[in-house]
Amino acid sequence: MARKAIELATILIDRNETANESPLTNVNFETDFESSLIISDLLLSRKILSQSTDQYSVVTFGSTGISTVRDFGTVDFKALEELKEIKPGVEYDTSFVTAIQQALTGFDQFTRDALKKKIAGRTILLLSNLKSADEKDLTNKNSLKLASMLSKEHVDLIIGSPDILLEDKSSAAFQFIQTLASQASVQWLSFSECYTRFEDFNPRQTQPRGQPFELELGPEVKVKVQMYVKNTNLKQQWKYDICDSRGKQFTKHFHFKTNPDVKVSAAELDNMPDEMIKDGTLIKSMQGRVIEKRNLIKGYRYGKDYIPVTDLDREDFVPKPETKQLKLIQFSPKENILPQYLMKEARYFLPYPETEASQKILMEMANDLIAKKLVMLCRYAYSAAAHPKVACLLPKISKTGVPVFIHYILPFGDECRNFEFPQLEDNVELLSDYQQDAMDDFVDNMMLKSTDFKLKILPEPKFMHECELLKHKALNPNVPLPGTVDLKKSIRHLSRPEAETEQVVDSIMNLADAFPLQIDPNTKSTHFIGRTLGQQLPMEILEQVKKQE
């Protein structure tokens, strides 16, 4: 069996005197050193909860030089306890450039010591405000030299720094990293981006499995396709080791004892009463399955084909048709499918891999529909028990050149017809320019942007809460678990950025000023405003009642 490749990663934490600053951009106004520890804790927690086999090491650089907190090895909860023991430095001593070079030396040493291990990749995560370096270290020559070392060892460099450094493009550190990124594999993230990337933990994705379908294009024209659906509601199963109070692990051994088999012939089985079989006297019946008369089909074989004798046998022999359905109804212009129709989850129909005709037909259809700006309306039913629904198939060609039809269930019934209604008489007053601008501003701020679609997998709050409880119990075994759940913390990744939220609030306030709410005097409820039960009704209502009588 081939050995599984592992990843090597080194976390470099800056503990110089300059790391004790607290920029306003940091979360909860922590210092840069505290933010680095929190990000390291989040990253290592992800590896622990996912039971990763990757090798991680933690290295600090600062007033006492470069020190290894944890050497290469699989991550456990002891690594999180070791992070809490790291203290900030009191003076400036070590540059981050020297720390990166030392991390490269650690990769070489580990590779020589573990020759039998298969290395898939190497990564360095540098958490620093990039102020622990003199201008003589941040030269263009040193940047090209460091980039050559990273490229030679095939090492990816990820830099996490305060947000304010990404905006200061005139600094020497910014120019140094820009030159380094142009020659090597470098990714520069802010601390806020590191929080977003590492704080949410998702279960490991499973391999997608396609469901076979037949796309009915005509009475006798069917194309084999495969439907793919995104995996949702994956239930994580934790594995625990049984230990005593001293930490000694227990193991379970199961011993099974079976009774000897009793062989019964067919003649003895026929003469045996039913009571003996029901009481368990018969331990083991004769080999094979019992065939009833209704399961028999009279016929004969002709080569590999089976030919029934009678019409009744032929009806029983005919295989049942497939209960799934994906039938073409009509083609429709793409502009008829409004965005608010696409509220259901998306399914993806791809060509059947073992059928060459399926790939050619779907490729031609996708190209023609895209060129003519058309979509397909289909009648969709997943099984015989499912109610048929109307769905649309949006054509698309993937980056790898595979035809894909994105499937959405439309909010309509089984019938889709083109109805024409006369235009209603409009008695509403025309909007003023101020009201029209308020409406446009509100719609623009509420529209989804390209940044809203970057997060492909939203972590499940329940799963995140289980991970937090497991981590809390491992680090604090004698402390009881918290009984309440912080819902705001669980769904923090679903909230919009503060700047966008403020714009939306301003647009809502302008909309409220442009369209003031007033009580309609013609409604029935207005006659009871300010009254209590038992009071006499207004005279107008009494007169109407008398007229009706």
Q: What share of the chain is helix, strand, coil (3-state, %, to 5)?
A: 40, 20, 40
Least confident interval from 180-189, 280-289, 306-315, 471-480: 280-289
The predicted pLDDT at position 475 comes to 83
Q: How confident is the model at residue 354 (pLDDT cuts 50, 70, 90)?
A: confident
More confident residue, 150 or 239: 150
The predicted pLDDT at position 349 comes to 93
pTM attached to this predicted model: 0.48
Query: How much of the chain exceeds pLDDT 70, in percent?
Result: 64
* Topology classification of domain 208-233+323-418: Ku70; Chain: A; Domain 2 (2.40.290)
Are 142 and 179 spatial neighbours (Cβ–Cβ below 8 Å)?
Answer: no
* Domain covering 6-199 assigned CATH 3.40.50.410 in the classification: yes
Mean pLDDT over all residues of the chain?
A: 75
The predicted pLDDT at position 394 comes to 93
Tell me which amino acid residue 337 is. I
Element (H, E) at 181: helix 172-183
- Whether pLDDT at 27 is above 50: no
**Tens of pLDDT, residues 433-444:** 888 888 888 888
- Whether pLDDT at 169 is above 80: no
**Tens of pLDDT, residues 1-18:** 455 678 888 888 888 777
Q: Rounded to an integer, what is the distance from CA 201 to the centroid of its chain?
A: 10
More confident residue, 434 or 303: 434
The predicted pLDDT at position 253 comes to 75
**Tens of pLDDT, residues 496-539:** 666 777 778 888 888 888 888 776 666 666 555 555 544 455 55
Mean of pLDDT values over 276-292: 57
Question: What is the spatial distance between Cα 540 and Cα 534, in angstroms, rounded to a whole number?
Answer: 17
Question: What is the spatial distance between Cα 127 and Cα 12, in angstroms, rounded to a whole number?
Answer: 6
The predicted pLDDT at position 452 comes to 59
- Whether pLDDT at 540 is above 60: no
The predicted pLDDT at position 178 comes to 84
Mean of pLDDT values over 31-56: 84
The predicted pLDDT at position 252 comes to 74
**Tens of pLDDT, residues 57-112:** 888 887 677 888 888 888 888 888 888 888 877 666 678 888 888 888 888 888 77
| Cβ atoms within 10 Å of 103's Cβ, excluding its own | 25
Domain ranges of the chain: 6-199, 208-233+323-418, 263-321
- Whether pLDDT at 139 is above 80: yes
Question: What is the spatial distance between Cα 240 and Cα 252, in angstroms, rounded to a whole number?
Answer: 13
Query: Do 6-199 and 208-233+323-418 share a fold?
Result: no
Are 159 and 189 spatial neighbours (Cβ–Cβ below 8 Å)?
Answer: yes
